[in-house]
Amino acid sequence: MLGTTTKRGVLPGFGLTMGYSVLYLSLVVLIPLSALLLNSTGLTLGKFWDIATDPRVLASFKVSFLTAAAAGLIDAVLGLLLAWVLVRYDFPGKGIFDAMIDLPFALPTAVAGVALTAIYSSNGWIGSLFEPLGIKIAFSPIGITLALMFIGIPFVVRTVQPVLQDLDAEVEEAAATLGASRFRTFRSVLFPELLPPLLTGFALAFARGIGEYGSVVFISGNMPMRTEIAPLLIMSKLEQFDYAGATAVALLLLLISFVLLLLINSLQRRFRKTAR
């Protein structure tokens, strides 16, 4: 029709952008995962079951998942507090404090592992304080959890922080005016809005913790059946040229992680629908 204008988007049309998205996703995610599945086709179901039920494999999975879950839960609490401080308060050095949150992203994980081991070992600054109490931090699941907390805390803070910034403070003031206590205001007004991003941050920290290698390999002590993590077991099998065993462990780790993340995302969507 004469005189009308066509509204153009900033980005190209759906076909072109979708094509690039599928290509990028295929090169980065789908093809590597397909290669993992193809490498496992040489395994019979019986051999795969024998590898999956091996006591050493089960022990490494237990250490990886329990420490990653514990670190993710602790990061969810600490990350919420850090995000709250950064959003709701102004103080000297706030910009530096905010930038330090992203330090685990920039710091090589191996460097973080060496530093944490030096600090929390029996002769380290902090580890020496707990050693007389019979508490061993380094070379124990506690040390692994601390390392995973270190690399996972930015995921929670950066996920919760934008949501806190968008929350209207007038809603809290209205709740206080109606006589609600601070705890009830947090439980009834703030927490329903913060729960979905908290679940997202936990899922990201949990997923990163399951596959983390560099920061954990030093502080864990790598003791089979005690502090050996699943990624380290995969590397050990590769060094022994046990490619079938490494592939089976990696595939099992991938499947369990995918199921757990799918459940967490389902809970997140349910809470978002409830909040609406």
pLDDT tens-digit map of 208-245: 899 888 889 889 888 888 899 999 998 888 888 888 88
- Report, as an integer, the average pLDDT of 189-193: 81
C-alpha separations of 192 from 101, 184, 185, 247, 261 in Å: 25, 12, 11, 41, 21
Stated pTM of the model: 0.82
Distance CA 264, CA 238 (A): 31
Q: Kindly indicate the confidence band of residue 12, based on its pLDDT and cuts at 50, 70 and 90.
A: low
Residues 87-126: pLDDT tens digits? 888 889 898 989 899 988 888 888 888 889 999 988 888 9
Residues 135-171: pLDDT tens digits? 889 999 999 999 999 999 999 999 999 988 887 777 7
| Residue 139 main-chain phi, psi, to 5 deg | 60, 35
Quick one: which of 29, 81, 68 has its CA closest to 205?
68
Contact yes or no for 164/194 (Cβ under 8 A) = yes
Q: Kindly indicate the confidence band of residue 5, based on its pLDDT and cuts at 50, 70 and 90.
A: very low
